[in-house]
Structures are given as structure tokens and as C-alpha cells.
């Protein structure tokens, strides 16, 4: 199954990707996690991406498209994948189409901007795995520690309220047009489009997702 997770920063893409990975055994391709790993490793890509990401802006389409094409060509993606945070612009979606990458489902998480700002303030992440927690809504078993490894959780650099507001503005301007793009793809019979109310609790959203994909 090939799935695109579409939604604003903090809409719950990473959280629901964890649920879907467990359920369908397909890998999560998170361009944000890939870029953060490159920054941590100090690669050339990481050096280029760091400032852009810290400012809440988008990394250039060329870089991202190359990154995703390479990842999708890997063996573990042959039975499907979850795209989390990609595509995020019309050129990225066009590049996928031109490369002949078909998707089965496009899932949109619709969440109010104010809810998002509140969520980002409490987000904690385990950088090595990409696992996501929230201090109130999805707390780890031990405060500040990842459930599986016991390693420290961190606050993302771009989760400051000012940066979150900038990321939201960029989402509305550059990524929201993909709602119409993939709705049109669904109308043409190329994929299924599912719009979910992402303002509800994590398990309620997961349950609806499961129902929609069955």
C-alpha cells in the first residue's frame, strides 16, 4: 500500500505513521526525519538544510525530490510506503507523477491552527527512531525517555512558537494546494482521497484511519 500523509506541521502525520507502520508493516519515509539525520551526521546536505529548517522554511524541491527518489528505490519500499511530509509543493507532486510513482491513498489531517500551536509546545521526539510524544496528549511511560530504548527525548529546534507560526503560513501557501491536486487525482480515479478531522484524540484518529483503509 502506498500512502501519502498530508497535513500542517503538527497535524499528526508522524504519530499516525507510527500506527500505520505497525499495522501494515510498510516503512515511513519522513523527509523531515531524513533531513534531521543529515544535520546530525554533519553531511553536506545537512549543512545546507539546517538554517532553512530552523527558520521554518522549505528545503529546495531539487534536493528533496532526489532524496525521496533514492529512498523509494530501496528494497524495503517495494510493497509500499508511507510518505510523511512529502510531497509538500506542487513541483514535488509533479515530480512523483513524472517518475511514475503511483499512490493508493492520500490522507489529509485537518487540524485548526490554534490546536497545532498548542501541540508543538508539548512535543518531545526520539531523534534516532523518529518516535513522537506529547507531554500531555501522548506521554512516554517514563518522563523524558523513549518507551522502547529509554534514551532521552528532545525538543525540536523548529518547535518555538514563532517558527511554528511561520511553518503554518508556509503550509497554507505552498502545501495546501495539494489538497485540490490529490482530490483531482481521486476524481480521475488515480487514488483514494480521505479527509480526516485531526483535532480529535490520537486513538480516535487511528481508529478512523483503520476503517477508511480497510
Q: Which residues are catalytic?
A: 13, 88, 123, 156, 167
Q: Which of 3, 6, 14, 146 binds ligand AP5 (CB under 6 A)?
A: 14
Q: Which of 2, 6, 7, 96 binds ligand AP5 (CB under 6 A)?
A: 7
Binding mask 134-153 for ligand AP5 (x = CB under 6 A): x--xx---------------
85 annotated ligand binder: yes
36 annotated ligand binder: yes
Let me know if 97 is exposed, middle or buried by CB neighbors in 10 A (0-12, 13-18, 19+).
Answer: middle
| Least Å from the CB of residue 123 to Zn ion | 9
Let me know if 29 is exposed, middle or buried by CB neighbors in 10 A (0-12, 13-18, 19+).
Answer: buried
Q: Are strands 123-126 and 131-134 parallel, antiparallel or unpaired?
A: antiparallel
What does each C-alpha distance from 164 to 20, 54, 86, 142, 177 come to in angstroms?
26, 10, 18, 27, 19
Report if residue 11 touches ligand AP5, rule: CB under 6 A: yes
Q: Decide whether 36 or 187 has the Cβ nearer to Zn ion.
A: 36
Q: Which of 14, 56, 87, 198 binds Zn ion (CB under 5 A)?
A: 14
| Least Å from the CB of residue 28 to ligand AP5 | 10
Report if residue 167 touches ligand AP5, rule: CB under 6 A: yes
Q: Decide whether 57 or 165 has the Cβ nearer to ligand AP5.
A: 57
Report if residue 206 touches ligand AP5, rule: CB under 6 A: no
Amino acid at each position: 500500500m502506498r500512502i501519502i500523509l498530508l497535513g500542517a506541521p503538527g497535524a499528526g502525520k508522524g504519530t499516525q505513521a507510527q500506527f500505520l507502520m505497525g499495522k501494515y508493516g510498510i516503512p515511513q519515509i519522513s523527509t523531515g526525519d531524513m533531513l534531521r539525520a543529515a544535520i546530525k551526521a554533519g553531511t553536506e546536505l545537512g549543512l545546507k538544510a539546517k538554517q532553512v529548517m530552523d527558520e521554518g522554511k522549505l528545503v529546495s524541491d531539487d534536493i528533496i525530490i532526489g532524496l525521496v527518489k533514492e529512498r523509494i528505490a530501496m528494497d524495503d519500499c517495494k510493497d509500499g510506503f508511507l510518505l510523511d511530509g512529502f510531497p509538500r509543493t506542487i513541483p514535488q507532486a509533479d515530480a512523483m507523477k513524472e517518475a511514475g510513482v503511483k499512490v493508493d491513498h492520500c490522507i489529509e489531517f485537518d487540524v485548526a491552527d490554534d490546536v497545532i500551536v498548542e501541540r508543538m509546545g508539548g512535543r518531545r521526539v526520539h531523534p534516532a527512531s523518529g518516535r513522537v510524544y506529547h507531554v500531555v496528549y501522548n506521554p512516554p511511560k517514563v518522563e523524558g525517555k523513549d518507551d522502547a530504548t529509554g534514551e532521552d527525548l528532545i525538543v525540536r529546534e523548529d518547535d518555538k512558537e514563532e517558527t511554528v507560526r511561520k511553518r503554518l503560513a508556509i503550509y497554507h501557501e505552498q502545501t495546501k494546494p495539494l489538497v485540490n491536486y490529490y482530490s483531482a487525482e481521486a476524481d480521475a480515479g488515480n487514488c483514494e482521497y480521505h479527509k480526516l478531522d485531526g483535532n480529535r484524540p490520537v486513538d480516535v484518529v487511528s481508529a478512523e484511519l483503520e476503517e477508511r483503509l480497510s
